[in-house]
Structure 1
Amino acid sequence: MSPLPDPALMRQDAVSIFQAGITAADPYQAVKRYLVPELLGNYSKVHLIAFGKAACAMAQAAQEIIPADRLAGKGIAVTNYENVTCIDNVEVIGAAHPLPDAAGLNAAQLIADRVRDAKANELVLVLVSGGGSALIPYPAGQITLQEKIATTDLLLASGATINQINCVRKHLSQLKGGGLARLAAPAHVHALILSDVLGDDLSAIASGPTVADNSTYADAIEVFKVKGVWEQVPINVRQHLEQGKLGAIAETPKPGDYIFKNTGHTLIGSNAISVNAMLQAAKNLGYETELYSDHLCGEARTVGATLVARYVEGRLPKIGALGEVFLQNQAIALLAGGETTVSLKGKGRGGRNQEMALAFAIAVEQHGLTGNWVFLSGGTDGRDGPTDAAGGIVDRNTIKRMVQAGVNPIELLENNDSYTALKASGDLVNTGATGTNVADLQILLIQPAP
């Protein structure tokens, strides 16, 4: 491949590769591929339930396939406000993400009422995608929605992993952790699942509303204690978890429970599928491709800095010593997928992808690397944290542009204000809501100096 002296060309390539990953997670096409007549069987009625950031696209595909006379009333689709679209024969409800709201609570109650009405010879078809946990909050016991929101906020700010957050959610909800399947019994249940969880653990995606749960109330309590925030948990939440640990409240349904006898699942999309699509797209553009990680996790800023350090040390796959790469003059694409975390210490704006991109650019500057490079980290849902950006894309001139704009990138990173830094340098990735969600994707393009 010939040298790429202009970073702008590499930026275009990075965005193109990122878009290939998003396209591979197209929820409409995934449902079209997997919702076959055999799955619909001979059930007298089909109850269509969808929730998550891809709910509308999935529901649209499903209602085009399911004969209208077999639908048990209008379907229900719950998604984040940005992704709301009108669908024939489907009631579409917008709700908040990542912190739940009253609209989500009302939607969850509507879903619960619908599946309770399902009969033994009927099918509850559940279309699940990322974001489902926050979009259908249905607090258990005496817990209020505001207490559930405060608890979720506390977990997010503590840097808890998605698995830790879901463990807690399952034990505070009437729908999660197999709760929906329990309400639907004795009807048949089948879930088509678009995974936003690394490793595709079905019990973790949207907190596993139709899947058996191995975790316990004791595990949920331990999450808070490990993060050092147990004493900050709302009193009703603490009491509920403690009562559950003592056996006074029923556990989430476990593997082997009779309610799962008529329950099935199909994985129709995942982060791994999107990463593979990016690898192919990069190859098509002429890059020497390598998978850096298919399970990228950890503190976002640390991951960004570590990636630079490994590049400097020549420890990235097949790159060898830094001098060797420069002699080869080979353009390289290092690709990854995953979901990092951010422990909030400042008061700025941003998300894990923006924070990783900013940390990467700062680390490159500190190491004094030469040659052309571009690094993009973005969320496949098009929204990174509580911002309108999907993530960030940085290059060798990013820090210079920030300084020229009058901002201090290091100070902004310390204040968790990556959004302000990247906006100042023109390095935000804005895709708008994509209608899907399979976690995050990372692209590092390196064109050694000639």
Structure 2
Amino acid sequence: MPLTAQLRQHAQAIFQAGVAAADPYQAVKRCLTANGTLLDIRLNDGNTHTRRWTKIHLIAFGKAACAMASAAHDSIPAYLLDAHPIAVTNYENVTDLAAIKVVGAGHPLPDAEGFYAAQCIAEIASDAQQGELLLVLVSGGGSALIPYPVSGISLAEKVATTDVLLASGATINEINCVRKHLSQLKGGGLAKLAYPADVHALILSDVLGDDLSAIASGPTVADPTTYSDAVAILKTRQAWDKIPIAVQQHLHQGVQGAIAETPKANDTIFSRNSQTLVGSNALSVNAMLQTARRLGYPSQLYSGHLCGEARTVAKDWVTYAKTLQQPVALVAGGETTVTLQGNGRGGRNQEMALAFALAAQQQGLGGQWAFLSGGTDGRDGPTDAAGGLVDAGTISRMISPDSAAAHLANNDSYPALQRAGDLLVTGATGTNVADLQVLLLIPAAV
């Protein structure tokens, strides 16, 4: 097999190892153990939360909702479970589940099905009583999948606000801050509805640093952000004048104290609340490093918190790669951003892959190499690709460097990579722990 083809094959295998490490079914199964009428829930400190609840209400939302709900349903005795468990996921990840209501909803932009699902979840939480448990299974994508706007803001107005933020280059934490202050469920809202029932969340993280208040906008977690923070983000991102008037008015009322803030850490509602982090980007990055070593590559962590503008990150990576003199696998995890300047088609991982290939050609990165950037959920932006997998021949397969540069300038990475045969297409994976990258490099001097 030609060396470049082998590098590409190995890059995909390393990426898939990272995705497999975030398997949501196994992550939940590891945390739940039934012991007669007792249920043991593993905590992150190694201890267990054990109680004899009279009833367990099961709700799941996010891109891994179906697998997580299935694992919980398989782990909990049927007589303890409420009769109306629900799992809400994006359309690509919908799976029929016996005894669990599955709702497909819009992502990254919320839709009417997600609004309906959010209403169902709010009703389940509100019905939970003291002595009962609301078991909440959270995974990436949950913010968009269960939109429940505050009174006075329509779903269309919330969608428009999200759309503006996505196009502005706002980070996921910034987007979630704004979402929390427009929602009845996010930012601790779900925990508030469930009180005084016990609430425990099993969380599959897609957020760098695993800030539980940021994952799916923290529906069961105290919110450290404020209305003032939300307004500042929108103005800093030059998005304030582009959002609906009703949203501006609501946020202004919040800043003035006319509307209650989201629940904070000292709120009584969190006295019956706990969480377990069951999977994360960091765990997947470690799995990639181990797989690269098994394949024979000296392996290094390039970054465990890769962030910033995708095309800038790619250029910096190429600059670093040029300094290397030995074969290596450089692995990273994180979530970059794209500030839209054109009207093309693509996603942040495709843009990074295209930018890496172009920077490698411009900077003269020698030797044999393959670079992969992909979303663990299998979907990068509004496309059917997870990302891109490029090599030293990518630019020539796009006809010319000028053509590649024009596509990049127009945020049009999808057709450029498609022309080169370099789209990474995995299909929906059923999980989501942000993005993963790997560079396999055999320098020219070797």
Q: Quickly name the TM-score band, shorter chain normalised.
A: over 0.9
Matched, 1:394 2:390: yes
Instruction: Work out the CA distance in 2 between the residues paired with 1:306 and 1:427.
Output: 21
Counterpart AA for 1:337? G
Deviation by residue 1:6-57 (Cα, 9 ceiling, x = unmatched): 2000000000000000000000000010123323620010000000000000
> In the alignment, which residue of structure 1 is the partner of 2:240?
230
> In the alignment, which residue of structure 1 is the partner of 2:31?
34
> In the alignment, which residue of structure 2 is the partner of 1:427?
422
Instruction: Work out the CA distance in 1 between the residues paired with 2:327 and 2:227.
Output: 50
The answer to whether the 8 Å contact 1:407/1:424 transfers is no
Deviation at 1:72, TM superposition (A): 1.1
Runs of 5+ unmatched residues, structure 2 = 34-38, 42-49
Matched, 1:384 2:394: no
> In the alignment, which residue of structure 1 is the partner of 2:255?
245
Counterpart AA for 1:178? G
> In the alignment, which residue of structure 2 is the partner of 1:8?
5
> In the alignment, which residue of structure 2 is the partner of 1:446?
441
Deviation at 1:141, TM superposition (A): 1.8
SS in 1 for 2:213: coil
> In the alignment, which residue of structure 2 is the partner of 1:322?
none
The answer to whether the 8 Å contact 2:321/2:365 transfers is no
Summarize the alignment of residues 8-407 of structure 1 with structure 2, pairs less than 5 Å apart: 8-36=5-33, 37-39=39-41, 41-312=51-322, 314=323, 319=324, 325=325, 330-403=326-399
SS in 1 for 2:57: strand
SS in 2 for 1:77: strand
The answer to whether the 8 Å contact 1:5/1:372 transfers is no
Structure 1 counterpart of 2:411, from 403, 416, 427: 416
Deviation at 1:5, TM superposition (A): 5.5
Deviation by residue 1:342-369 (Cα, 9 ceiling, x = unmatched): 0111110000000000000000101122
Deviation by residue 1:47-80 (Cα, 9 ceiling, x = unmatched): 0000000000000111011111111112110000
Counterpart AA for 1:370? G
Instruction: Work out the CA distance in 1 between the residues paired with 2:161 and 2:179.
Output: 9
> In the alignment, which residue of structure 1 is the partner of 2:47?
none
Counterpart AA for 1:258? T
The answer to whether the 8 Å contact 1:131/1:206 transfers is yes
Counterpart AA for 2:328? I
SS in 2 for 1:221: helix
Deviation at 1:88, TM superposition (A): 1.4
Deviation at 1:311, TM superposition (A): 2.2
Counterpart AA for 2:399? V
Counterpart AA for 1:305? K
Deviation by residue 1:129-149 (Cα, 9 ceiling, x = unmatched): 000000000000200000000
SS in 1 for 2:302: strand
Counterpart AA for 2:367? G
SS in 1 for 2:210: coil
Instruction: Work out the CA distance in 2 between the residues paired with 1:356 and 1:41.
Output: 48
The answer to whether the 8 Å contact 1:49/1:126 transfers is yes
Q: Which stretches of structure 1, 4 residues or longer, exceed 3 Å deviation after superposition?
A: none
Instruction: Work out the CA distance in 1 between the residues paired with 2:136 and 2:239.
Output: 34
Deviation by residue 1:111-144 (Cα, 9 ceiling, x = unmatched): 0011100000100000000000000000002000
230-239 vs 173-182, greater mean Cα deviation = 230-239
Instruction: Work out the CA distance in 1 between the residues paired with 2:381 and 2:362.
Output: 27
Instruction: Work out the CA distance in 1 between the residues paired with 2:93 and 2:239.
Output: 33
Deviation at 1:250, TM superposition (A): 0.7
Deviation by residue 1:385-415 (Cα, 9 ceiling, x = unmatched): 00000000000000011117x9811000000
Instruction: Work out the CA distance in 2 between the residues paired with 1:409 and 1:72.
Output: 55
Instruction: Work out the CA distance in 2 between the residues paired with 1:251 and 1:185.
Output: 17
SS in 2 for 1:437: coil
For the aligned residue pairs, the C-alpha RMSD in angstroms reads 1.2
SS in 2 for 1:387: coil
The answer to whether the 8 Å contact 2:169/2:339 transfers is yes
> In the alignment, which residue of structure 1 is the partner of 2:432?
437
Instruction: Work out the CA distance in 1 between the residues paired with 2:365 and 2:58.
Output: 54
Counterpart AA for 1:227? R
The answer to whether the 8 Å contact 2:318/2:365 transfers is no
> In the alignment, which residue of structure 1 is the partner of 2:44?
none
The answer to whether the 8 Å contact 1:141/1:240 transfers is no
Deviation by residue 1:205-258 (Cα, 9 ceiling, x = unmatched): 000000000100000000011011211110010000000111111100001110
Runs of 5+ unmatched residues, structure 1 = 320-324
The answer to whether the 8 Å contact 1:157/1:344 transfers is yes
Instruction: Work out the CA distance in 2 between the residues paired with 1:35 and 1:407.
Output: 55
Instruction: Work out the CA distance in 2 between the residues paired with 1:88 and 1:62.
Output: 13
TM-score by length of 1: 0.95
